[in-house]
Structures are given as C-alpha cells and as structure tokens.
Amino acid sequence: MSPRRGLRQATYRQRVMRQQMHLDVRHDAVAGDETHPMDEMLREDRLPHIWCPGCGLGIALGCFIGALTKADLDLDKVAVVSGIGCTGRVAGYIKLDSFHTTHGRAIPFATGLKLANPELSVIVFSGDGDLVTIGGNHFIHAARRNVDLTIICVNNFNYGMTGGQAGSTTPIDARTSTTPYGNFEYPFNVSSLAAASGAVYVARWTVLHVRRLENAMIEALQKPGFSLVEIISPCPTGFGRRHGERTGLDTMRYYHKHGVITHGANVHEAGIKLGGDIVEGKFVDVDRPTFLQFREDGLSKALGRNDK
Amino acid sequence: MSRRVSRPSTGKQGVLEGEFFMLGDDACAEGAICAGCRFFAGYPITPATEIAQRMALRLPETDGIYVQMEDELASMNTIVGAAWAGVKAMTATSGPGFSLMMENLGLAIMMECPCVLVNVQRAGPSTGLPTLVGQGDMMQARWGSHGPYSIIALAPTSPQELFDLTIDAFNLSELYRLPVLVMTDAEVGHMTEKVVIPPYDEIERAERPRPAVPPEEYEPYRCPPGELVPPMAIAGEGYRFHTTGLTHDERGYPATADDRVQWSLVQRLIDKIEKNRDRIIRLAEDEMDGAEVVVVSYGIAARTALWPIEMARAEGIKVGLLRLITVWPFPEERIRELAGQVKAIVVPEINMGQIVLEVERCAAGKVPVISVPHPGGGIHKPEIVLAAIRRAAGRESDL
Amino acid sequence: MSRKEVRLSGFGGQGIVLSGMILGKAASIYDGKHATFTQSYGPEARGGACAAEVVINSQPVHYPHIVDPEVLVVMSQGAYNRYVPEFRESGLLIIDMDLVTVDEQAENHRILSIPATRIAEEMGQRVVANIVMLGFLATVTDLVSIDAMREAALTSIPKRTIELNTRAFEAGLEHGRKAMAAGVSG
C-alpha cells in the first residue's frame, strides 16, 4: 500500500465517521453528555449498528429521521416495517413502533397495519432483494391496489448481509459471489416497476444527494397512496469492491460523476447499467384514490351509507 | 388531499342472531364475526373460498375490512400486521395455501401475535383432490413451521361446531397470544346444517392482555411475575415498541449471539401452551364408562365413526368414542389413562396415519392401537371402521 | 322419524342445489328435525348430472352422505341415466315428465311425474321449475310439512320474486294432490 493511498483511506475513514457520527459514536469521550438531535428517534441501547464502514444505510437512516421530524407527523402514529437484510435492520434502530418481519413480506405486513388502522403512517424500509426480488409480488400488488404506504427501498444491487450474492436488481455483467463469471440476467429497474404497477409517487436518489433524498422522503410520507423512494446506496463489502469501488467513498465519487438529475425523466428508460449514468430525480407524482378511499367510496354507494 | 377513512369497529352492527340453515364455511365466517373479527385477508382456494366470499360480503356490513391478497404468503402476513394494529384478524385456506402460510405462521408464533388461521382441509399431496375431503395436514399443523414451538389446533365436526370453535379459536389466540388453527375439512366446510347464532351479548369474547405500564417502562416481551403471556401494546398508542421474528429479549431486541435467550424464549413459547393444557384441551366423550374398545378420532372422521360405533354396540361390543375437539396440544394424559383401561384403541382419520402416531406414543405399547387410514377424497365407509372395532374387540370380522 | 335420504338431480342451472338447500332448511329450521345437505362435487357433478343430497332425521345426522336414498327426484335425462341404475327397488322416483323418458330400468320403482318445467314456462319463468317440484315433493312425501317447505322456499329466494315463487309452489302442491288422489302409478 502506497503512503498516498494510506492517506486517502484514512481520510475516507474520517469522512465515514463524520457521516455516521450521530449514529454510532455519540457516547464516546468527545461527545460527552451532549445529546444529539436524533437521540429521540434512535434506540441507543441497540447501537452500535451492524453496518459496514462506507455503507450508505447510515445516511439513508439519517435522511429518514430528518424527513420524519419535518413531515409534520404524529410520531406516535408512525409504524416502520422492515423485512430481512442489512436494510431490514432499520426497524430495529428507529425508536418508533417498529416491526422486523420475514424476508420479502414487509409490504403485506404493513398493508395489514395500515388497513386495520388508517390513522397510522406506515413506512416500509427495506432493501432491493427483500422488496423486489423475494417480495416482488407484494411490491407490485400493493402498488396496484394503491395501499397508502411509503416504501423506502435501499438498492445496493446485491444481497449484502449474506455475502454479496446477485439479486433481481444486479446489473448485467456484474460480478457477485453467485455470479462469479458475470450476471447474465436482465435486472429490474425498481422505480420503473413501481411506476408501471401504479405507484403515485416515485423518486430515486443516491445517498450522495442527502438534501434531495430527505425532501423526497418528506414528499413520499405526505403523499396518500403507494409511494416509493428508491435509494441508490454503496455496498463496498458486498458489491463495490468487485467493481473498482474499494470503499464507500469511491462509490460516492461515482455517484458524483454519474448521477444525472432529471426530474420527470421517463422512468422506464432510467435503468441502471454497470459503469453507466444513474438517472435520479422525481419520476412520478400523480393523484389516484388510495385503496381505502376507493373502497370507502365504493361501499358508501353500494351499501347506501352516508359519507363518513 | 388526505381524506379520513374509517377504522374497523368491534360493535354488534350487522352481526347475525338466530337459527340458520348454513354452509359450514359460512358458519365459520359468521363465527369469526361474532368473535369480534373485523379483518380478513385471504386468497381464494377450494374448499375454503366460501369463507373469503362470506367475509367479503359481511365485513363491510359490520364495519370490518376484507382484502384479497396476491397469495397466501401475503394473506398470513397481512393478518399479522392487522393484529398488531389492534384488530382481530383471520385468514382461511386449504392445503396448498396452508403450506405457503407456514413461514409466517412462525412469525406470528415468534412475535406472539393473536390471529386465526382456518384450514379447510382437502386431499393432497400437492393439488390433490381440490374439492374432496382430507385430514392430511394434522401433523403439518403441529410441526409445519420451522423451529420449536407449541400450537393450538381445533377440529370441528359440523357447521355449528365450526361456528363455535372459530369463536373459541379467537379467544384462545387472544388469551395466549398466538395463531390458533381451525383444522376443519371439505366435508364440514361444504356441508349445510342448522347453525344457531346466539345473541351477540351472550357470546364470550376474550381480549389480549394489554400493558398496564407507561411507554417508558414497557417491555414488549416481559411477562408479569408468575405469568407466561406478556401484555401486548399495539401500533399507534405511543409505546414505540419493537418486535421481530429474530430471537429476542424482553425488550423485543434481537439477541442472536448465543443460545441463552433462545432457551428462555422458546421455553416460554412452549410453556404458555403446555402449562395451560388443562384450560385449553377439550374432549368429547361418549359411553366411555366400561368401554372395551375406544375410538379416538377428530373432525369429520369422528362424526362418521358414530354410525359404525352404533352398529358395533348393537352387536354387543362396548365401544366408547373419545373425540378430540382440541387436537393440539394433544391430550396425552387422557390417552395414557385409557391405555390402562381398555382392550384396544381404534383411530380412524382421513390420512394415512398421523394422529395415530400420537396415540401410539401415549399408549406406549400397553394396548394395541389400530389405525384406520384413508388417503382422502371421501369419508370412511362405515363397514371399514366397524371391521376395525370388531378386530379391536377380538371378534371375528366377516369383512 | 328415522333417517331419510333424498337425492335431487338434474343439470346445472335448474336450481337443484337451491332445492336441496330449501328441503334441508324446511326440515331443520321449520320442522325442528335434523338435516344435512351436501352437494356432489368432483367428476360426477359434470357431464350433465348435478345432484343435491339431503339427509333428514329426528336424531342428529351422524353420517352426512346419502347411502341408499328412498326418494330420487330427477329433472334431466342425464341425471336419470346416472342415478336410476343404482336407485333402490321400491324407492320413490319423481320425474319431470317432459325432460325425462322412463325405461325398463325404472320398472321396480314407484314413479310420480309432473311437468314442472312446463308449468314454470307457462308462468313465464322456467327458473321456478325447481319450486314447482318442491311443492310437489312436499305433497307426495312425508319428508317435510307443506308449511315448512313453503316457508323455507319463500325465505330462500329474492324478495321481489315471492309472488311468482308462491304461485309456482302452489302449482306444485296442486299437482301433488292430484297425483295422490290418482294413486301411485308406474
């Protein structure tokens, strides 16, 4: 390792520490008794978290907490549901009613919560493998029904927790632990899948674009209906290092160079290719009655009920 | 933009009362409604479809929610989510769907979430005989989800009992915080008989234990001293609790480093059922005093055995019937007791021998246990069961 | 009353299933007996024959299926071909005379016939043929009382059709009385 390179790595580590300081090193000697603005929202007895250095999930969670506090919600009425995987651990760190369910099934679980108590704001926070691979059927059907859920899908193109296997979002040619010769399957474009299935709000941001990401989360939280925020996020351990991005910072640099902000872009042409640009922005923002509204209106007519 | 939509109620609006000539599946749905169920998520499957259809019709009339899911994985998960939002929730299925629900049955067990799963059993394996009866899922009901746990499963013999046991299932699920299985079958589900629905206010309805402490003191899996069922907060009340399918401590936090928490958690999940066996297990006994042969059966197989039992009695054989209303937990004590009293035990069931294994285990070689299997697709012909009773009594059978 | 078994048969769309439902309801709800109604599912429900099976007893019905019915109602030739060969000797066979041709297979049965479908058509609604048949069945057998059958029928059909169904039921009764007065033929 060259001295130059060692220096760069140290800088990277510092950067990562700074990014995540509020999450995992709040109580060391430097921080002292100071409380962090996000303390209220985190289960400090669950920290430190399990995520690798350079992972984007800390940023995604930071943006999420920012959005929750700014979205004018009664936080006692917020429920966070996760599936399985690194992103699935979010439900365990956030200090709200939170449910860590089975692999792929966060959306139907959240559907039950929301339909049984429409006063709840229900957010599904999970990964690409969980939501659109093993859980793909639920993802498209919840979007079709327009259940009032906010889906935050952190897409790192692989199964990180279990050692970097390929999934349905893995780009063509990508090397993973289960595609050692390259990936020969066509991947899902998560945002396109949601839009085609009926989502009323679809946005995609990388974790580099934290302000925009937080704003997108606020919009999604406030949008009635099935809304999706797709977060493109580094997984240096499972994915990046196999593609010339040894660290999370390398991936952030890639986002900086290749992130192309195009609001209203044709989401179906915004697929992600290895080495290609990442089109990001707000793709869909339309109004459609939610499942419960549609149902209530239909039943009022059918059963001759007064409008409630 | 945001319009208010109403929450499911638990009131008596729209609840039926009186005498009805009713399909078993419909009686199941009405039993659920009488129990306070106001949420159904399911996927149509013969012969359980009529339950979903009835719920689709009736829940809107009782301020409940019906939602048809994309598959049974979703159905099971959705009712677990709904139950965590505070409603009584149910799904209904048959063999293939039951298999798909197994993983998330485990989730409900692990999260200790009250809900009811009805299996209108048909003949398998696989797609099998979709319209015809089977009882081949009885062991799956006990062991079908991975890992160690205890479960409650009930077996009705008629539309009336399907109505009654569906109410019991909800009450047990609330009291012990677990999914309760109603293991009915295509015969009972598709049979129409008189069903008496009592007045709403006369029906006992149990509710899950609720936290008595403020949110800052609440731990979702801490039991009050001497108790085995922890109080249950629901989403949206300000408890800001966490629950997970991972092995978890009293706080609901994952504790996956070694087997210490696993020991105490799994032991309690089992104990809360097994140490309450006396309260949970219900049996129906007929002419057991002085019986030389006892037929042990459940569900439709126990009902159809009554005819050959009458024939055998007419021949002078002293036959008793022990009908398992509760199949799981299995009434081990009663079978052990019987094994010391009778000449033989006959076990007709519409599978190739499942509950007979439990009977044999408890009889422990003290008396012969005669299996009367049936692969599904029909009910036992009376003469088959009669022949087994004769053999058990040591009479020559002319069959 | 000891166990009685009845099979009602015809083809899909004739309201056979509803007929079984009404018969069972009449016995259990309005006559205070026990009744179990099941439908034939599986292969035999196809190919033109559709059947409803009703067991009536003053005691609880243990065995839910019919084993050896004493009354067989047949409203199609397909059902005749399917069910008459296995029908017990001296059993009561009731047929819709315009839809079923009787042959030597039925020579040992008591046969009563009624043009139920024609009567219904003359009322302008072929779909009430099953109700005509039930009126007839209530009169010529002692399975259920006439009042119970009428009550069960009229509480099982859409309210707006009560007048039509009442007329259909009464027409069936009338034919039944005539058949009884004429004595059993066949």
**Do residue B24 and residue B162 come from a single domain?**
yes
Structure token pair of residue A111: 């559907």
Residues B323 and B193 in one domain: no
**Number of domains making up chain B:** 2
Give the CATH number, domain containing residue B341. Answer: 3.40.50.920
**Model confidence at A6: pLDDT above 90:** no
- Give the percent of chain A with pLDDT over 90: 84
CATH assignment of the domain containing A226: 3.40.50.970
Domain end, chosen from B158, B180, B202, is at B202
Query: What is the span of the domain harbouring residue B319?
Result: 285-392
- Total structural domains within chain A: 1
Tell me, yes or no, whether B51 and B198 share the same domain.
yes
pLDDT at A2 over 80: no
Predicted pLDDT at A37 = 80
pLDDT of residue A307 exceeding 50: no
| B34: three-class secondary structure by DSSP | helix
| Last residue within a domain, chosen from B202, B230, B262 | B202
Q: Cα B61–B158–B42 angle (5° rounding)? A: 45
Q: What percent of chain C has pLDDT over 90?
A: 88
In a domain, B74, yes or no: yes
Q: Is residue B276 part of a domain?
A: no
CATH no. of C4-182: 3.40.920.10
Contact B132 C64 (CB under 8 A): no
The CA R_g of chain A, rounded to the nearest whole Å, is: 19
Strand ranges of the sheet holding A97-100, from the earlier edge strand across to the other edge = A259-261, A278-285, A201-206, A227-232, A150-155, A121-127, A78-82, A97-100, B242-244
pLDDT score at C41: 54
What confidence score (pLDDT) does residue B133 get? 97
Q: What is the pLDDT of residues A147-193, one digit of tens each?
A: 999 999 999 999 999 999 999 999 999 999 999 999 999 999 999 99
Per residue in C53-90, pLDDT tens?
999 999 999 999 999 999 999 999 999 999 999 999 98
Mean predicted lDDT score pLDDT of chain A:
90
Say if residue B192 is in the same domain as residue B295: no
What's the pLDDT at C48? 60
**Which pLDDT score, from 0 to 100, does residue B4 have?**
61
Q: How far is B51 from chain C (nearest CA, A)?
A: 17
Residue ranges making up the domain that contains A236: 42-303
Q: Which residues of C touch B (CB under 8 A)?
A: 20-21, 24-25, 28-29, 34-39, 41-42, 61-65, 152
Amino acid at A73: L
Give the phi and the psi of residue A80 in degrees, each rounded to 5. -115, 130
DSSP, res A132: I
Determine the residue of chain A that is closest to B79 in CA distance: A112
Residue A50 near chain B (CB below 8 Å):
no
CA nearest C42 in B: which residue?
A: B131
How much is the ipTM here?
0.96
Does any domain span residue A35? no
End position of a domain, from candidates B139, B169, B202: B202
User: B332-352 b/e with 16+ CB inside 10 Å = b?
Assistant: eebbeebbeebebbbbbbbbe
Task: Tell whether B11 is covered by a domain.
Answer: no
CATH of the domain at B36: 3.40.50.970
Which residues of chain C, if any, have pLDDT below 50? Answer: 42-45, 185-186
Which chain A residues in 274-303 lie under 8 Å from chain B, judged by CB atoms? 287, 290-293, 295-296, 299, 302-303
User: Is B184:B121 a contact under the CB 8 Å cutoff?
Assistant: yes
Residue type, A66: G
**B175 and B72 inside one domain:** yes
Q: What are the residue ranges spanned by the domains of chain C?
A: 4-182
Chains C vs A: touching, with 3+ CB pairs under 8 Å? no
Q: Which residues of chain B have pLDDT under 70?
A: 1-4, 397-399
**Domain assignment present for B222:** no
- Taken in order A231, A233, A235, A240, the sign of the CA dihedral is positive
Any domain includes B238:
no
In a domain, B78, yes or no: yes
| Contact criterion met (CB < 8 Å) for B1 and A224 | yes
